[in-house]
Homo-oligomer: A and B are copies of this chain.
Amino acid sequence: SKCYRVTVLPGDGIGPEIIRVAVDVLRLVGSQEGLDFEFKEMLVGGAAIDAVGSPLPQETLDACRDSDAVLLAAIGGYKWDRNEAHLRPERGLLDLRVGLGVFANLRPATVFSQLVDSSTLKREVADGVDLMVVRELTGGIYFGKPKGFGINEHGERIAFNTEIYSTAEIDRIARVGFETARKRQGKLCSVDKANVLEASQLWRERLTIIGAEEYPDVELSHMYVDNAAMQLIRNPKQFDTIVTNNIFGDILSDEASILTGSIGMLPSASIGQSGPGVFEPVHGSAPDIAGQDKANPLAQVLSVSMLLKYGLGQERAAERVEAAVKTTLDRGFRTGDIMSYGKTLVGCLHMGEEVMRSL
């Protein structure tokens, strides 16, 4: 049987605790489905800064490139918040994305029926929300040049960044958006600010052309980002798949996540044209509860499911993991972040054991 090489990046905070659970789950489902895994654990983020002085050591990037998929937990923490830009954990994440060319970030925002009451939205608004944000991840204002600091003609200091997209960059993320929508409900909403930004005008033009030429079966709509930020709250169920640029995707995918009320349950996948993808929870490294066995490992476990599905094309194993998470919720187990009346409060490790029992 094929042996998949998975690079494991525990990172910071609760990272090591939750990723341990996820690796165990991956091993177990592998044994059930006849898939072999070889794990290689590497440093990233604050842990890597402390150990070797760089948020993404070259050996880590090499190991990732050399593998079939990257399982990442979370990075960052107060400890490194005052570091200079190039010595901050986030830099490691940005460099990893570019280093692996993972230009498409897939972020599902799904309301688990068992947890609908933890949303701050009314039950009837939240119940049944199931959308996917496809965010461009290696372009736009995050990486555009020129950027930096200077002095203007009045002698004042200035700082600037460049929002920039080429047709090639737009076209490839557009196709991921359309393909994703096609596998879902067939509705793609492209979000931009074409009434103000030239970069958005080219975005809208390309989306429209690619939709008409290559995906006539997908229903394409366009929405301004300010309106999208509203519609997500007014009626999130109107959305199936959203595709948008890097910065708007950063904002809207977080907004969509919190609507579900259980951000501790949400995974993400970052994928490129070929080569390994990066699979990680949406939530952060939660340094305040690190090392206390309190973290919710389910977003990390669901990242394993995305790894199997989008990274390795192992749909059946992926579904098995997803089903096990749902069964575990049905069986009443909850970590503190999703706890509610009448349920069984468990820690991170115990939750992991219950998922494996459900498997």
* CB-defined contacts of A159 to chain B, threshold 8 Å: 164-165, 198-203
* CB-defined contacts of A229 to chain B, threshold 8 Å: 229, 251-252, 254-255, 258
* CB-defined contacts of A125 to chain B, threshold 8 Å: 120
Determine whether A8 belongs to the interface, using a CB cutoff of 8 Å to chain B: no
* CB-defined contacts of A252 to chain B, threshold 8 Å: 229
Q: Bits for A57-100, please: 1 = Cβ < 8 Å to B, else 0.
A: 00000000000000000000000000001001010001000000
Q: Which residue of B lies closest to A147 (CB)?
A: B198
Give which listed residue, B156, B195, B234, contacts A258 with CB less than 8 A: B234
* CB-defined contacts of A263 to chain B, threshold 8 Å: 230
A226 to B148, CA, bound (A): 22
Determine whether A162 belongs to the interface, using a CB cutoff of 8 Å to chain B: yes
Q: Give the contacts of A153-168 with B (CB-CB under 8 A).
A: 154, 156-168
Q: How far is the CB of A241 from chain B (nearest CB, A)?
A: 19
Interface secondary structure of A, over-half rule: helix
The oligomer's copy count stands at 2
Q: Bits for A228-261, please: 1 = Cβ < 8 Å to B, else 0.
A: 0110011100000000000110111111011100
Give which listed residue, B141, B164, B257, contacts A230 with CB less than 8 A: B257
Contact between B233 and A251 (Cβ–Cβ < 8 Å)? no
Contact between A163 and B166 (Cβ–Cβ < 8 Å)? no
Q: How far is the CB of A253 from chain B (nearest CB, A)?
A: 8
Q: How far is the CB of A195 from chain B (nearest CB, A)?
A: 5
Interface size class of A (residues with CB under 8 A): 35 or more
Determine whether A152 belongs to the interface, using a CB cutoff of 8 Å to chain B: yes
Q: Bits for A259-270, please: 1 = Cβ < 8 Å to B, else 0.
A: 100010000000
Determine whether A289 belongs to the interface, using a CB cutoff of 8 Å to chain B: no
Determine whether A359 belongs to the interface, using a CB cutoff of 8 Å to chain B: no
A142 to B201, CA, bound (A): 13
Give which listed residue, B90, B149, B165, B255, contacts A195 with CB less than 8 A: B90
Contact between B158 and A164 (Cβ–Cβ < 8 Å)? yes
Q: Give the contacts of A198-236 with B (CB-CB under 8 A).
A: 198-203, 225-227, 229-230, 233-235
Determine whether A144 belongs to the interface, using a CB cutoff of 8 Å to chain B: yes
Give 29 pairs: A residue, B residue, CB < 8 Å, sorted on A. A85-B201, A90-B195, A120-B121, A120-B235, A121-B122, A141-B141, A141-B197, A147-B198, A154-B166, A154-B168, A156-B166, A156-B167, A157-B166, A157-B167, A159-B165, A159-B198, A159-B201, A161-B198, A162-B163, A193-B247, A193-B250, A226-B250, A227-B254, A229-B229, A229-B258, A230-B257, A233-B255, A248-B251, A251-B251
* CB-defined contacts of A198 to chain B, threshold 8 Å: 147-149, 159-161
A172 to B266, CA, bound (A): 40
Q: Which residue of B lies closest to A117 (CB)?
A: B122
Q: Which residue of B lies closest to A120 (CB)?
A: B125
* CB-defined contacts of A201 to chain B, threshold 8 Å: 85, 159
Beyond A158-B167, A160-B198, 19 additional pairs, beta carbon < 8 A: A88-B195, A90-B195, A120-B235, A121-B121, A121-B233, A142-B196, A147-B197, A147-B198, A154-B166, A159-B164, A159-B201, A159-B203, A225-B250, A226-B253, A229-B252, A230-B263, A233-B255, A233-B259, A251-B251
Q: How far is the CB of A83 from chain B (nearest CB, A)?
A: 11
* CB-defined contacts of A157 to chain B, threshold 8 Å: 166-167, 202
